[in-house]
Chain A
């Protein structure tokens, strides 16, 4: 799977970090999402999909590869 984040939409709540901490992080100053792993392994797929659904800004898009 491939993950795309839209930094301009991100509102910095960090729901993605809580759901999948090894795939997402937040910048220190403004809390905007940092994508740690744009191609997460299969075992992370469920957590990443959950993060995309929970994101309150629809800023995470998951593309199946």
Chain B
């Protein structure tokens, strides 16, 4: 195959498509566009080993220079600003236009921000540079507030605590990681952080950051309280990086709307955190923000570009490391699910659990310091019921 493939976003999703294309016999032109100044790197260690200083920053590189060289691709440093799908061209910042036969969009997410002014000392975390800025600032911080107790917020709170900072974790929900783990297991995450000395301020929304002379001095809550802090990390979720695709003709709805084969339009594919596609069983549009989804979906996209008709039907998976605790989730926990312990009990520091929906469906297999057990428990998952 000799067509011209353009990949916008050269992180794990984009890079894996490129590698799988070459492996599958694509001999044509291959270009990857990204504004990030660093060679492709992995994000999961940014909120873990990089923040605590356990890893030097260059350990996050996804590939060696030799491996990147062997890909025989052109690396374009720039930001895509406009797509003309009819003319099959992408315009970059600075006005350059790149033509393509096949376009792969792998632009990931942009952190959501709080409304109002953003004083110095306010951080978000998505890129390596943001991780380095946060790591640099943490040792001098007196009090740290982490706004948003999702997976990322919990990991950052754990890292800041590990570095000896005084940490408050704020979230409107009743427990941390409620969306990912449900109330019972989320309660265990709360206990974990309390045990390590993190102050939890749950059940109250954050209205904004408070500043004094241009620097963060606290986080304002809806009930009037101000959580004092001189460093605030805002981890209130992220939105798909699709601003550049407005008016492109592509359907956008919290992500790039694709078919089950990850195709957004003729000759246009989306992959990774930015892509939304119909669950092949339920038909409901889903978007998955996880490291393994990006690679699995990339293999599907590359195969389809090479002429296959593969449907993307993953078992969602994510993990999180907080202090010495490793949490792994295969499948997806539903809000009202019951927890059933397969190994260990609710009181143990190591267990394998399943979550079950009201309809008796096993929705997720969860390992708490039990990686191997979590993987084997995956066999218990039942497929989602078909749409009536």
Chain A residues within 8 Å of B, Cβ to Cβ: 9, 11-15, 17-18, 26-28, 30-31, 49-50, 53-54, 56-58
Contacts and interface: CB of A to CB of B under 8 A. Distances in A.
Given A11-B44, A58-B62, A53 B299 contact: yes
14 contacts: A11-B319, A12-B328, A13-B292, A13-B375, A14-B372, A31-B328, A31-B372, A49-B23, A56-B44, A56-B291, A56-B295, A57-B42, A57-B44, A58-B42
A14 B42 contact: no
B375 A17 contact: yes
B340 interface: no
B375 A26 contact: yes
B63 A31 contact: no
Contacts of B44: 11, 56-57
Nearest to A32: B371
State the majority secondary structure of interface residues on A: loop
Residue in B44, B295, B317, B371 whose Cβ sees the most chain A Cβ within 10 Å: B371
Interface in B344-388: 367, 370-372, 374-375
Contact of B371 (A26, A49, A54): A26
Interface of B: 16, 19-20, 23, 42, 44, 59, 62-63, 291-292, 295-296, 299, 317, 319, 321, 326, 328, 367, 370-372, 374-375
A58 to B, nearest CB: 5
Contacts of B23: 49
Contacts of B42: 57-58
A10 to B, nearest CB: 10
Nearest to B298: A53
Given A53-B16, A57-B44, 12 more contacts: A11-B44, A13-B292, A13-B317, A14-B372, A28-B372, A31-B326, A31-B328, A31-B371, A53-B20, A53-B295, A54-B299, A56-B295
A34 to B, nearest CB: 10
Contacts of A31: 326, 328, 367, 370-372, 374-375
B347 to A, nearest CB: 20
State the majority secondary structure of interface residues on B: helix
Given A58-B62, A58-B63, A14 B295 contact: no
Contacts of A15: 292, 317
Counting from the closest, the 3 A-B pairs by CB-CB distance are: A31-B371, A12-B371, A14-B375
Contacts of B291: 56
A18 B372 contact: no
Residue in B20, B292, B296, B372 whose Cβ sees the most chain A Cβ within 10 Å: B372
Contacts of B59: 9
A10 B356 CA distance: 29
Given A53-B16, A54-B295, A56-B291, A14 B63 contact: no
A1 to B, nearest CB: 13
Given A31-B326, A49-B23, A54 B372 contact: no
Contacts of A13: 292, 317, 319, 328, 371, 375
A27 B372 CA distance: 7
A13 B179 CA distance: 21
